[in-house]
Chains A and B, each alone.
Chain A
Amino acid sequence: KNEVEQSPQNLTAQEGEFITINCSYSVGISALHWLQQHPGGGIVSLFMLSSGKKKHGRLIATINIQEKHSSLHITASHPRDSAVYICAVINTDKLIFGTGTRLQVFP
């Protein structure tokens, strides 16, 4: 069993839909990242959080430390949101990654 699990693995949506990606982890963490990866490999950090909730534009990330669970929400999704979204936790000074959720948003 992976230390960081994401669901779903693949997600398709129509433009405008509300999207939720879930992440569960089984190790102790000091913080959790949500990352976005586009074709070609580049990874961009969207959020780093250790408690509560953060919002940036149409993106919202929440974390529940007791339940070892985090969610990434995208409101009013758009085709340009199509990418792989990766959850990664900081454990003993390094990142442990989930396998990613491939999101495709169709017009």
Chain B
Amino acid sequence: DTGVSQNPRHKITKRGQNVTFRCDPISEHNRLYWYRQTLGQGPEFLTYFQNEAQLEKSRLLSDRFSAERPKGSFSTLEIQRTEQGDSAMYLCASSFGGDYGYTFGSGTRLTVV
């Protein structure tokens, strides 16, 4: 297992387009988290899954954002009708849950032009 994998690493898109990011967690981890990080700030929580169930969504997550983890393995995060304010680094992390450690992916950097 090579850790948490995120694809693509970079995405440049025009305003109004839809984008989808993928996260492949560590296979034994049942929890998967999405965070968003803007320049100079710490990551902000977006949503998380335990297996295939989406347990919590942040109020930051507008209706244009949707996340899935259909078989409790990989997850996708889709942003519809992208806006310039969506430009950020989108980070994925996985864990066993509870007080176990987290493993982070390298992130997907989104630039909306």
Residues of A near any B CB (own CB < 8 A): 4, 30-31, 33, 35, 40-45, 48, 50, 86, 88, 90, 93-100
B42 touches A98 (CB 8 A): yes
Residues of B within 8 A of A93 (CB): 31, 48, 55-56, 97-98
Closest to B45 in A: A94
Q: Which residues of B in the span 38-66 have a Cβ within 8 Å of any Cβ on A?
A: 40-45, 48, 55-56
Closest chain-A Cβ to B5's Cβ sits at a distance in Å of 12
Complex-state Cα separation, A96 to B48, whole angstroms = 13
User: B48-106: which residues lie under 8 A (CB-CB) from chain A?
Assistant: 48, 55-56, 89, 91, 93, 97-99, 101-106
Shortest Cβ distance from B94 into chain A, in angstroms?
12
| B21 interface residue per 8 A CB criterion | no
Q: Contacts A88-B42, A94-B48, A99-B42 given: A42-B104 contact, CB under 8 Å?
A: yes
B102 x A33 contact (CB < 8 A): yes
**How far in angstroms is the closest Cβ of chain A from B100?**
8
Collect the chain B residues with CB atoms within 8 Å of residue A94's CB: 33, 45, 48, 56
- CB-nearest residue of chain A to B89: A41
Q: A41-B89, A44-B104, A94-B48 are in contact. Are A31 and B42 (CB under 8 A)?
A: no
Contacts of A90 in B (CB 8 A): 99
Q: Would you call A41 and B99 a contact (CB within 8 A)? A: no
Measured between beta carbons, the chain B residues less than 8 angstroms from A86 are: 42-43
Residues of A within 8 A of B103 (CB): 45
In the assembled complex, the Cα of A90 lies from the Cα of B102 at a distance in Å of: 10
> Among B35, B56, B99, which residue has its beta carbon within 8 angstroms of that of A31?
B99
| Distance of B102 from chain A, by nearest CB (Å) | 6
Contact across chains for B43 and A97 when beta carbons are under 8 A apart: yes
8 interchain pairs, CB-CB under 8 A: A35-B104, A40-B106, A43-B107, A88-B42, A93-B56, A95-B33, A99-B40, A99-B41
